[in-house]
Amino acid sequence: MKGATVTLYNRPPEVQNFIEVTLALMAELAATPEAKAALAGIRDGVKRVDPQTPRSPGRQPACAHLGAALAHAAQTPQLAPLCAALEAAEPHLEWTGEERNGLASGSYAEITLLGPGGHEERRDVWLGLSLLAPHVRYPDHNHAPEEVYLALSEGDFWRETSGWFTPGTGGTFYNQPSVRHAMRSGEAPLLAIWALRRV
Ligand SMILES: [Fe+2]
């Protein structure tokens, strides 16, 4: 790590700011009592900082769509501060996820800020974002923590209890623990943030 200083217990300030801006906005936009309760718990949880895993910041091929996705999101005034915070934090973050999810090259990338395999390894709260190139369907999956999504783009989401739905740019929704869910992009890239809490 020539020339780099690794401070194990500090999040980079830009990352800390992105976490705070994101969770505050998600709490504001959350539409249901379940989502609001989850976000209150997540905001409380992130006050504790766990050790930072040294990572290699960098992009994946699907990140070719990031600029377009952020430009679209920033047209929604409420989302503009979040987009600016993400642009500031992104150089500190490592995109991953394509191979692990068995998706074709250039179709998918994600950042896990907090959570298993993330920049901050922990199990109680997770926070990250997913970017899908146009016309990609992300596989069905589930996990024990409850989850709130914030859509930063158009695109469709699915859960086994309700089928496909389209929250729209700035839309939020709640997935109960262990429910199977998925997402798919249309003509435009899909960008979404996810925040999870173990219950
Ligand atoms: Fe999920």
Instruction: Enumerate residues with CB within 5 Å of ligand 1 (an ion).
Output: 147
CA 180 / ligand 1 centre spacing (Å) = 8
CA 192 / ligand 1 centre spacing (Å) = 11
SS percent in the chain: helix, strand, coil, step 5: 30, 25, 45
pLDDT band at residue 7, thresholds of 50, 70 and 90? low
pLDDT at 33 > cutoff 70: yes
CA 7 / ligand 1 centre spacing (Å) = 30
Average pLDDT across the chain, whole number: 95
* Distance (Å, whole) CA 14 – CA 91: 9
Q: Output the pLDDT for position 5.
A: 53
Q: Which residues pair with 151 in a beta bridge?
A: 192
CA 2 / ligand 1 centre spacing (Å) = 36
CA 64 / ligand 1 centre spacing (Å) = 23
Phi, psi at 149, each rounded to 5°: -105, 145
CA 48 / ligand 1 centre spacing (Å) = 23
In a domain, 54, yes or no: no
CA 140 / ligand 1 centre spacing (Å) = 9
Q: Output the pLDDT for position 2.
A: 47
Question: How many domains is the chain partitioned into structurally?
Answer: 1
Kindly report, residue by residue over 45-61, the tens digit of the pLDDT.
Answer: 999 999 999 999 999 99
In a domain, 81, yes or no: yes
Q: How many CA atoms are closer than 13 Å to the CA of 79, on its beta-carbon side?
A: 21
In a domain, 2, yes or no: no
Give 7 or 172, the one with higher predicted confidence: 172
Domain span at residue 137 reads: 13-48+59-197
Secondary structure class of 120 (helix, strand, coil): strand
Is residue 146 within 8 A of residue 100, CB to CB? The reply is no
Report which of 98, 130, 144, 139 is spatially closest to residue 194, judged by C-alpha positions. Answer: 130
Asked whether the CA dihedral 18, 20, 21, 23 is positive or negative, the reply is positive
The CATH number assigned to the domain holding 150 equals 2.60.120.10
